[in-house]
Amino acid sequence: MLGSPTETWQDRRRAAVRREILDAAWEVAHRDGLGGLTLRAVAERVGMRPPSLYTHFASKHALYDAMFFQAWSEFDERSAALELPADPRAALHGIARFYVDFAVADLPRHQLMDQRVIPDFTPSPESYAPSVRAMERTVGRFRAAGGVALTEADVDLFVAVVGGIVAAQWSNDPGGDRYTRLLGRLVDMLADDLGLATVTSGEDP
């Protein structure tokens, strides 16, 4: 006798409704801002009464948590598929460009992933896990690219300065490239500090 399926149609239906709610939540966040998201607005967008929404998400922070997980899972999946050159300096350029392009593509997503714009919101360990996984994998692949021994301070510096490019871009020239076009020069300065051989001249490979 074949084993019973582990997933019922009710499970599949519930998962589909959760995805629909999450899609609606992102739409509301793009329309009203991440801080302007309300469960009532999300419920209205999916044609559901607000009390029914609570059967899927117990609070607004629970919805934020699911959005956080979804955003970082997407980043994690894409970064896992990223092909990096063997040269460590070129790899550093590739990592930086991938992150910046992802971050400047969607403001609410970037705010939720990388900024503390929601008062009292802290992602759950389960939702935070994809971000840790993506960081550890990326650092590991970079180290393997040229046997580069990065310190924790090196990683922190990279995160801070590349994140600063994104913040400046969103704050001063959203939709443009006034700051992101400087990324190649910035990465070269970081690579120089790490003592990586020069393979670029201020431009992304």
> What pLDDT sits at residue 203?
47
Number of C-alpha atoms within 13 angstroms, CB side, residue 181?
Answer: 6
**Residue 95 near residue 105, CB atoms below 8 Å:** no
Axis-axis angle for helices 183-194, 88-103 (nearest 10): 140
> What pLDDT sits at residue 201?
44
> What pLDDT sits at residue 145?
67
- Neighbouring residues of 199: CB distance < 8 A, sequence distance ≥ 6: 87, 89, 90, 205
> What pLDDT sits at residue 5?
57
> What pLDDT sits at residue 120?
92
- Given a cut of 70, the residues of the chain with pLDDT beneath it are 1-5, 145-147, 199-205
| SS3 label, residue 196 | coil
Q: What is this structure's pTM?
A: 0.88
Query: What is the residue-wise DSSP string for 4-66?
Result: PPSS-HHHHHHHHHHHHHHHHHHHHHHHH-GGG--HHHHHHHTT--HHHHTTT-SSHHHHHHH
> What pLDDT sits at residue 148?
73
Radius of gyration of the chain (CA): 20
> What pLDDT sits at residue 197?
79
- Report the phi/psi class of residue 195: left, alpha or beta, with left for phi > 0 and alpha for psi in -120 to 50: left
* Largest CA-CA distance found in the chain, in angstroms, rounded: 66
Rounded to an integer, what is the distance from CA 162 to the centroid of its chain? 14
> What pLDDT sits at residue 10?
76
